[in-house]
Chain A
C-alpha cells in the first residue's frame, strides 16, 4: 500500500533533549512537509521541502531542524531550543505541481516531561 508512515506514534522525552521524528513516504512525491497541530490552533507549517537536498522554513521553524537526503524521507528534529515542544506533529507529502493535494501521515504525539 502506498502511503506515509510516521514513527513512533507516541514519544516521550526529557526536557533539554533533542528528539528526531521519522517520516517516510512511498508515494514518489517530490514535496514533503512538517506541521505542528495544537488544540484550537489548526496546523502550522514548520518546514517544507520541494526537492531532495533542499528545504525551506515555514511559519514556526525556530527550535526545529530537518534534512532531505532521500526523496522518500524527511526527518524532523525537535531541539532543546524549542520552548514548547509538546504537540502533535504531522508529516505530509504531495507532487511538486501546485495542482495537487497534500496527503498526511498518522502523526506523532510528542510529550516533553
Chain B
C-alpha cells in the first residue's frame, strides 16, 4: 500500500520567512500528487495538484510544489509566509485507483 511521509509535524516561523514542507511517498509508478490545507475552523481545501507535465506546480495563495520523481518527493514551498498561512497542511498521493493516501500533516504556525 502507498505510504506518505511528512516530516517536522510542528513548524513555527515568523512572517516573511520562507516555508518548505517535505513530502515523500513510497510507490514508484505513476502517481497523482496533492497538497491540501486546513485553516483553523475551516474545511479541508485543495492547495495545488500535480498530474503530469511541468514538475513545478503553482497553487493558490503563492504556494508552489516541485515533483522530483527520482526522489519520490513533492515538497511544498512559499517564499514569504503571512500570519494567515497558519494552518495544517496535508500531502496526499493517489496511485492505481481512486484512493488517496495522506501524510500525517504539518501544523504550521506563523507568528506576526
Whether B57 sits at the interface, judged by CB under 8 Å, is no
**Cβ contact within 8 Å between A104 and B43:** yes
CB within 8 Å for A40 and B104 given contacts A99-B32, A101-B34? yes
**Cβ contact within 8 Å between A98 and B94:** yes
Whether B8 sits at the interface, judged by CB under 8 Å, is no
Complex Cα spacing A96 to B92, Å: 17
> CB within 8 A of B105: which of A42, A101, A103, A106?
A42
Complex Cα spacing A1 to B4, Å: 33
**Which stretch of A19-27, A43-51, A76-84 is in the interface?**
A43-51
Interface size on B, residues (CB 8 A): 25
Which residues of chain B have C-beta atoms less than 8 A from A104's C-beta? Answer: 36, 43-45
Whether A102 sits at the interface, judged by CB under 8 Å, is yes
B-binding residues in A (CB < 8 A): 31, 33, 35, 40-45, 48, 50, 58-59, 90, 92, 94, 96, 98-99, 101-107
Complex Cα spacing A42 to B97, Å: 20
Q: Which 6 A-B pairs have the closest CB atoms?
A: A104-B44, A42-B104, A43-B102, A42-B102, A106-B43, A42-B105
**Cβ contact within 8 Å between A43 and B90:** yes
Which residues of chain A have C-beta atoms less than 8 A from B71's C-beta? Answer: none
**Cβ contact within 8 Å between A48 and B99:** yes
Closest to A90 in B: B44
**Cβ contact within 8 Å between B43 and A105:** yes
**Cβ contact within 8 Å between B100 and A102:** yes
Complex Cα spacing A98 to B51, Å: 10
Which residues of chain B have C-beta atoms less than 8 A from A99's C-beta? Answer: 32, 51
Closest to A96 in B: B98
Complex Cα spacing A44 to B102, Å: 7
CB within 8 Å for A98 and B98 given contacts A40-B9, A42-B105, A107-B43? yes
Complex Cα spacing A45 to B102, Å: 9
Which residues of chain A have C-beta atoms less than 8 A from B32's C-beta? Answer: 98-99
Write out, one digit per residue, whether chain B residues 61-100 have a CB within 8 A of any chain A CB (1) or not (0).
0000000000000000000000000000010101001111
